[in-house]
Structure 1
Amino acid sequence: MSPLFCTFILLYFFIVCESTWVKDLNLPRQLLEYHISSNKNLRDRCSEDPTCKINLNASKCFGFEDDCINENSLGFRSKFTSCDNNLNPKVAEKFYEQGDFGYLESRLVKHSICSSDDSSKSSLSCSDHLTHCIGSNIYFDFSNLKIKSSTRYRQDVIQPGQVEGNCENFDRKLLDNNLNVKGYLMSWADELQHFKSNLDFKMDKEHCDVIFEKPTVVMKLDAAVNLYHHFCDFVNLYASLHINQTFNQDIDIILWDTHPGGYNDHYYGITWKAFSRNEPFELKEFGKSLEFLNYEITENILSDQKRVCFKNVMMPLLARQRSGLFYNSPLVYGCSGSTLLKTFSQFILHRLRLGIKPQKAELEKVRIVILSRSTAYRRILNIKELLKSLGHLPNVTTRVVDYNERIPFLRQLNTTSQTDIFIGMHGAGLTHLLFLPDWAAIFEIISLGLKRKLLLYSSYSDIYFSKLQIHLIRSDEEGKHPQSGEKHLKFANYHVDPIEFREQVKSMVDHVRAHPKFINSRRAQRRKQAEMEAEKQKKEL
């Protein structure tokens, strides 16, 4: 082997090894740059690493950090948020505080309830009202769980003496002052209200039946079967990662579900892979042998009897907080486009390997997707007639999809992320709006009493939306709840006026084609094609 080749091998090995930590962050490019630039430890590491290609000359931050000035924030630089002309600047500020990175400022961890100078002892710090907490070397005793006879959404699992740490400094009054907001999906007050310091506690086999060595996220969860409610979990977990300034994928996740049947996350559970490369655990699984955990404790003890210890634990923002994020969101009118939700979308698509390449417009066609339903209600009864009405629209492709349980969620996301116009009678499926390209439009055939939610999604995503006038839609039945008999539009099926439908779609096609980002995407692809063709001709010569 020649010395030159050996040198090449060594150089290649050096570069790959030295750049591994950046690759391991596994973040889309823009998020990667801002994360490294705004995190002092990562910034210092990058500046000392010649293979780190992140530009550190320009200060970058997300906006919620204490030392971040507005001109350096992602929202200011990206210009993703847009507001009505002549809007009072205070309205824009309010939108930022309610639905963007500014929201995180009010959720920062600032209350040190338990602290220690000795790293072998415990710590517990929380935001106001215990909406988000981080701790080290603490434990929960699940003696009161009684999983076989338990029910879902219990708030009484942890009793006095069942959550402790060894604190050099413990502020009981500070803890009590932040217990005023309770609720299963609102805060961690029910689980931490009995926290106390135990000077005899140690992280060892004598005091712990299970020890989680890796950083661990404990999640109380909304409904697994509903896309919108489950994504309230994921959006708030993503926001918590920003607060905690870590996107490490080698973490454990515990699904704090108190039902004996477990959480049953069959539909959208693949999304956890965006947050951890390890499979989540459930409380009911503590009843199994723990040998597969690669921990030393392998006794088959029921979860009811287990003291579960955490070396590092995060209790993230929950799905249904007061004035929450993505749920109970009191967004002001006049602005749209949340940079926080946009980076969430990019993060999910990237980590699930659907966004490795940027979203691109088709060179010639506008892509239309009509959401059909195999459910009992909200079906378009004359969908073939509607498809026929679109047949003469030039340079469009039209697909009919049914996002039912037989279609894997990854395939659904892949379809959505490559759609320019999304049409249907949505409910929780409006969550797909988060993953449409920036230039996309959504056609909600009938709002079905979800006008507020539709406006909320549109405000978060800055997506253009339209709907038909109610007189252009008819149903052969009176919509009634199948159990209660209460009247509601969503419990019916509908015929849609094909002429007006075509005109609305034509208007949306024009909107998409005129969108600056759609135009820029096409230009970029044409340039790339021209460069490839020129390179090909050059080689042929």
Structure 2
Amino acid sequence: MLHLLILNGLLSMAMAQAKPDAKLTLSLPNLPSDHLIRYLNTFPKLKQQLPSNATTRSTSLACWGHERDCSAEARFQNPHCAGDHTGWARSKEAQMQTFYYQADFGYIQQQLLELTPMCMPKYLTDSSLECTRYLRFCRGRNLLFDLRDVAQREERIRYHMDVLSPGQLLGHCDLNRTRLSAEMDHIGSALQSWGPELRNFAVLPKPVLESHLCDVVVNTPTFIMKIDATYNMYHHFCDFFNLYASLFVNQSHPAAFNTDVQILIWETYPYDSPFRDTFKAFSQRPVWTLSDLEGKRVCFRNIVLPLLPRMIFGLFYNTPIIQGCSNSGLFRAFSEFILHRLQIPFKPPQRRLRITYLSRRTKYRQVLNELDLLSELEKNEDYLVERVSYERWPSHETQTF
């Protein structure tokens, strides 16, 4: 029932906004062709609307790999486990399956199986909330975030677990408080769970949008993100990767890969990063922080609380990988998605191997002999070496050796 109510609401919104003669144009997302075929196979009704001679009208059964009926042959990619070593698995097959559920689309499948209603709507205008285990991913409708106290805080917010107080997250639905409380085990730090925020959920006596409590109503679907360190490529890409994975967990509607969405970063520091353009792969709108909404009661029609960068046994940061396996289709799909959306051109291999060295010009963790290393690399005529240093001002500096 929850999925039907959410889906019906989203369809009604899409039909109200779309022009009759622009249906297909609005519906097809900007994806690589191999991804688009799988997207259309996920939504067969949309696929049937395409012209019969369209290249995307493939009869292929290609799938991503998180679908229950997706065969190993039709997956986006299968992992590779070399040699006879099976790690702690009993067989080669078990080794590959373990890797698939640890670091591939099998992980997405687990999240989908875990999605559980926390607050059930009775009517279409009601609120709703459903989450995976330990509140690692959640999505909801018609929820009110009371951010009036944020404007009164003396210190800026980052990695805080007390942004919301009891009763500052509100909705009108049938809340299963026991079920919600049972998923608070991963509340040890801010980037592990949405528990610090959702523990403050309270029920309103009437629907949110009829309560006259909203100072601002955000109609655009919104992803609220608690992010890792923005000036470290590894740490910030934990955020981008998990946001991409969350698109699949949230893929209950053809608009799942649209860019007309809002990103809201759950801190009051101005967002700044040498990798900030990566957000353009997900959203065409400027990134918000809590500073853009502080002091207001904000009502969101559709929100997603995506997978977090430092989840226990999560992807990227704390991933437990079985020995001997590689070739994750999910990681490859993420790479292709980012390159395609950001229109980064492919440069075919040359005679010389291109080496890009990322220089860290900060107070700590500097490589003290990096110039010596680069000079040695330069002596090899088979290498084309670039030293790139990301700075706040200017945004970055490139030096060719």
> What's the counterpart of residue 81 of structure 2?
83
> What's the counterpart of residue 9 of structure 2?
none
> What's the counterpart of residue 531 of structure 1?
none
Offset at residue 385 of structure 1 (A): 4.8
Cα distance between partner residues in 1 of 2:202 and 2:128:
11
User: What SS is found at the alignment partner of 1:403?
Assistant: strand
> What's the counterpart of residue 29 of structure 1?
33
Higher CA-based Rg: 1
Q: Could you tell me which amino acid in structure 1 is paired with residue 348 of structure 2?
A: K
Q: For 2:354, which of 368, 376, 386 is the aligned residue? A: 368
Residue pair 1:201, 1:207 contacting (<8 A) in 2 also: no
User: What SS is found at the alignment partner of 2:98?
Assistant: helix
> What's the counterpart of residue 337 of structure 1?
327
Q: Could you tell me which amino acid in structure 1 is paired with residue 284 of structure 2?
A: R
Residues 196 and 117 of structure 1: CA distance in aligned 2, closer, same or farther (over 3 Å)? same
Superposed CA offset, 1:362-396 (max 9, x none) = 3xx133325274737313343575256313xxxx4
Q: Could you tell me which amino acid in structure 2 is paired with residue 208 of structure 1?
A: C
Cα distance between partner residues in 1 of 2:361 and 2:232:
14
Aligned sequence identity (%)? 33
Q: For 1:207, which of 207, 210, 213 is the aligned residue? A: 213
User: What SS is found at the alignment partner of 2:304?
Assistant: strand
Offset at residue 71 of structure 1 (A): 2.9
User: What SS is found at the alignment partner of 2:355?
Assistant: strand
Cα distance between partner residues in 1 of 2:375 and 2:262:
50
Q: For 1:265, which of 258, 269, 272 is the aligned residue? A: 272
Residue pair 1:18, 1:49 contacting (<8 A) in 2 also: no
Superposed CA offset, 1:445-473 (max 9, x none) = xxxxxxxxxxxxxxxxxxxxxxxxxxxxx
What is the aligned residue count?
A: 361
TM-score by length of 2: 0.83
Q: Could you tell me which amino acid in structure 1 is paired with residue 51 of structure 2?
A: P
* 1:311-326 alignment, distance < 5 Å: 311-326=301-316
Cα distance between partner residues in 2 of 1:233 and 1:388:
34
Residue pair 1:147, 1:284 contacting (<8 A) in 2 also: no
Offset at residue 343 of structure 1 (A): 0.8
Query: Given the alignment of the two structures, is residue 111 of structure 1 paired with residue 116 of structure 2, yes or no?
Result: yes
* 1:116-265 alignment, distance < 5 Å: 116-145=121-150, 146-167=152-173, 169-182=174-187, 183-204=189-210, 206-245=212-251, 246-257=256-267, 259=268, 262-265=269-272
Q: For 1:99, which of 99, 103, 114 is the aligned residue? A: 103
User: What SS is found at the alignment partner of 1:121?
Assistant: coil
Q: Could you tell me which amino acid in structure 2 is paired with residue 321 of structure 1?
A: M
Q: For 2:286, which of 279, 284, 291 is the aligned residue? A: 279
Residues 371 and 150 of structure 1: CA distance in aligned 2, closer, same or farther (over 3 Å)? closer
Superposed CA offset, 1:285-314 (max 9, x none) = 22xxxxxxxxxxxxxxxx23x111110000
Cα distance between partner residues in 1 of 2:99 and 2:247:
21
Report the structure, 1 or 2, having the larger helix content: 1
Residue pair 1:372, 1:380 contacting (<8 A) in 2 also: no
Superposed CA offset, 1:252-307 (max 9, x none) = 111111x4xx1432311111101000011111122xxxxxxxxxxxxxxxx23x11
User: What SS is found at the alignment partner of 2:119?
Assistant: strand
Q: Could you tell me which amino acid in structure 2 is paired with residue 187 of structure 1?
A: S
Residue pair 2:310, 2:318 contacting (<8 A) in 1 also: yes
User: What SS is found at the alignment partner of 2:308?
Assistant: coil
Offset at residue 83 of structure 1 (A): 1.4
Cα distance between partner residues in 2 of 1:360 and 1:29:
20
For structure 1, the residue ranges without an aligned partner over 5 or more in a row are 1-15, 287-302, 416-422, 424-541
Cα distance between partner residues in 2 of 1:219 and 1:372:
26
Offset at residue 205 of structure 1 (A): 7.6
Residues 404 and 116 of structure 1: CA distance in aligned 2, closer, same or farther (over 3 Å)? closer
> What's the counterpart of residue 352 of structure 1?
342
Residue pair 2:47, 2:57 contacting (<8 A) in 1 also: no
Superposed CA offset, 1:6-64 (max 9, x none) = xxxxxxxxxx9575246x51111111111221x23xx2112122164314422122111
Residues 359 and 324 of structure 1: CA distance in aligned 2, closer, same or farther (over 3 Å)? farther
Q: Could you tell me which amino acid in structure 2 is paired with residue 32 of structure 1?
A: L
Cα distance between partner residues in 2 of 1:310 and 1:18:
25
Residue pair 2:127, 2:208 contacting (<8 A) in 1 also: no
Which of 1 and 2 has higher RCO (CA within 8 Å, sep 6+)?
2
Residues 92 and 161 of structure 1: CA distance in aligned 2, closer, same or farther (over 3 Å)? same
Cα distance between partner residues in 1 of 2:319 and 2:167:
36
Superposed CA offset, 1:408-427 (max 9, x none) = 57x98xx9xxxxxxx9xxxx
TM-score by length of 1: 0.62
Residue pair 1:214, 1:251 contacting (<8 A) in 2 also: yes
Q: For 1:327, which of 312, 317, 321 is the aligned residue? A: 317
Cα distance between partner residues in 2 of 1:351 and 1:220:
23
For structure 2, the residue ranges without an aligned partner over 5 or more in a row are 1-20, 87-91
**C-alpha RMSD over aligned residues:** 2.6
Residue pair 1:161, 1:194 contacting (<8 A) in 2 also: yes
Residue pair 1:132, 1:188 contacting (<8 A) in 2 also: yes
Residue pair 1:224, 1:263 contacting (<8 A) in 2 also: no
* 1:297-312 alignment, distance < 5 Å: 303-304=294-295, 306-312=296-302
Q: Could you tell me which amino acid in structure 2 is paired with residue 82 of structure 1?
A: H
* 1:12-91 alignment, distance < 5 Å: 20-21=25-26, 24-37=28-41, 39-40=42-43, 43-50=44-51, 52-76=54-78, 81-86=79-84, 87=86, 88-91=92-95
Cα distance between partner residues in 2 of 1:17 and 1:350:
24
Residues 194 and 50 of structure 1: CA distance in aligned 2, closer, same or farther (over 3 Å)? same
Q: Could you tell me which amino acid in structure 2 is paired with residue 83 of structure 1?
A: C
> What's the counterpart of residue 15 of structure 2?
none
